[in-house]
């Protein structure tokens, strides 16, 4: 496996400027190393992967140094537009090194949301004309491959990609452990339990990518409540609020609650402006804000640096609050459920999850069918 510190030193020696990206569990170790080792301002955890391509492009314009953009292959979709209409050699021709975590690699068991993406990952690069190499797992060969790719990016004046398989990087002990917790006491899973206890049993839930959906699944399973009310958006990070709004707009008799994450809401924050105009009286938006991309390794988001309720109000939501305690959550959910006002509730929670947290045992199609039957009942 690759030693993260040596690899990071080699990246710097190769003349890379800015590091930008969205974290991935396969890249957890190298991302933690980049976070620790990069000088101030040389690393930005971006809102989404397309934004990371834009950041690397801007940095190249300012310095002439290529940037490195890291992502999970799920994030690849977010990059297609800026890769093809900004960085491509036929447009502004901007060199950069992409580091792509290969979830769903054919032959390796992975979650359903990664299967299709994994199958087409290399083909998509071929179609876009982006040269790539699969990163070897031995440190010296990996550095050599990376150096060749950076040289190729400079030569072709465009993006090149390094594909990272599972278990490529060695464990890296993160040094950045200082946590701002604002005296928080609840973790996401407990907050979810409180929401589900408080919310009317008929409300349809649309939940976000990552552990939140897994925790909802386990909550229902442990109480034998069935899973028909919950649409667990296992992929498509950042889009669950618009799925929820799509349901609410199209079925005004159905109350819908979106359970979102801070990383996810920041990824496609423009959707808040669209939801903010909705006045159907049947939509509640809850954001579980732990200031982290908790599901993929706990890399920081700007969730605790921004005022999400103020943003929601400015976007047109009729009510928006931030809460932290059990009682506040209960009161806020009760009020929002009966007010008929478009409400956003930010719940600030501690990062972290149970180590024995399971995964949905139903397939996405079973989830879809059960949810559709619930909505049409």
220 binds ligand TPP per the rule CB under 6 A: no
Task: Tell which residue, 315, 317, 314, 316, has the closest CA to residue 286.
Answer: 317
Of the pair 214, 228, the CB lying nearest ligand TPP is at 214
Q: Give CA–CA dist 43/15, Å, rounded.
A: 14
- Binding-residue total with ligand TPP (CB under 6 A): 25
295 binds ligand TPP per the rule CB under 6 A: yes
Q: Give CA–CA dist 164/135, Å, rounded.
A: 6
Q: Give CA–CA dist 68/55, Å, rounded.
A: 10
Interface pick for ligand TPP out of 82, 159, 263, 300 (rule CB under 6 A) = 263
Q: Give CA–CA dist 29/277, Å, rounded.
A: 41
User: Residues 243-262: x/- map of binding to ligand TPP (CB under 6 A)?
Assistant: ------------------xx
CB atoms within 10 A of CB 304: 18
Yes or no: say if 118 and 101 are a contact pair by the CB < 8 Å rule: no
CB of 110 to ligand TPP, least distance (A): 12
CB of 24 to ligand TPP, least distance (A): 5
211 binds ligand TPP per the rule CB under 6 A: yes
Supply 261's token pair. 């994450």
Yes or no: say if 303 and 290 are a contact pair by the CB < 8 Å rule: yes
3 binds ligand TPP per the rule CB under 6 A: no
Interface pick for ligand TPP out of 23, 95, 276, 360 (rule CB under 6 A) = 23
Q: Which residue minimizes CB distance to ligand TPP? A: 261
Q: Give CA–CA dist 159/152, Å, rounded.
A: 9
Q: Give CA–CA dist 42/257, Å, rounded.
A: 38
Interface pick for ligand TPP out of 8, 28, 43, 188 (rule CB under 6 A) = 188
210 binds ligand TPP per the rule CB under 6 A: yes
Taking contact as CB under 6 A, which single stretch among the options 9-17, 19-27, 164-172, 330-338 is the one that binds ligand TPP?
Answer: 19-27
Three-state DSSP class for residue 337: helix
> Using CB under 6 A as the criterion, which residues of the chain lie in contact with ligand TPP when the complex forms?
22-24, 72, 74-75, 78, 188, 208-212, 237, 261-264, 290, 292-296, 301
């Amino acid at each position: 496996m690759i030693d993260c510190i040596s690899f990071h030193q080699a990246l710097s020696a190769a003349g890379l400027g800015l590091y930008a990206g969205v974290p991935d569990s396969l890249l957890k170790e190298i991302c933690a190393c980049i976070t620790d080792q990069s000088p101030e301002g040389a690393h930005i955890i971006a809102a989404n992967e397309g934004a990371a391509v834009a950041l690397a492009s801007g940095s190249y314009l300012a310095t002439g140094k290529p940037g490195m953009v890291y992502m999970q292959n799920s994030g690849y979709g977010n990059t297609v537009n800026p890769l093809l209409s900004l960085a491509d050699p036929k447009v502004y021709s901007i060199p950069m090194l992409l580091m792509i975590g290969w979830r769903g690699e054919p032959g390796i068991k992975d979650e359903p949301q990664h299967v299709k993406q994994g199958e087409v990952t290399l083909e998509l690069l071929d179609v876009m004309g982006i040269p790539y190499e699969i990163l070897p797992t031995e440190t010296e060969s990996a550095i050599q491959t990376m150096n060749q790719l950076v040289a190729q990016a400079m030569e072709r004046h465009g993006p090149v990609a390094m594909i990272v398989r599972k278990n490529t990087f060695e464990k890296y002990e993160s040094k950045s452990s200082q946590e701002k917790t604002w005296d928080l006491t609840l973790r996401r899973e407990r907050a979810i339990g409180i929401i589900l206890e408080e919310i009317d049993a008929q409300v349809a839930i649309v939940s976000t990518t990552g552990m939140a959906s897994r925790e909802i699944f386990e909550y229902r399973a442990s109480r034998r409540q069935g899973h028909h009310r919950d649409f667990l958006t296992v992929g498509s990070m950042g889009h669950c609020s618009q799925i929820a709004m799509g349901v609410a707009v199209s079925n005004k008799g159905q109350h819908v609650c979106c359970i979102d994450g801070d990383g996810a809401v920041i990824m496609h924050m423009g959707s808040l402006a669209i939801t903010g105009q909705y006045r159907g009286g049947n939509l509640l938006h809850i954001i579980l804000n732990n200031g982290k991309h908790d599901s993929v390794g706990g890399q920081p988001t700007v969730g605790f640096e921004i005022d999400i309720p103020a943003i929601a109000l400015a976007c047109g939501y009729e009510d928006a609050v931030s809460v932290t305690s059990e009682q506040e959550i209960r009161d806020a959910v009760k009020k929002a459920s009966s007010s008929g006002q478009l409400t956003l509730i930010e719940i600030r929670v501690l990062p972290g999850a149970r180590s024995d947290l399971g995964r949905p045992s139903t397939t996405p199609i079973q989830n879809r069918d059960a949810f559709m039957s619930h909505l049409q009942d």
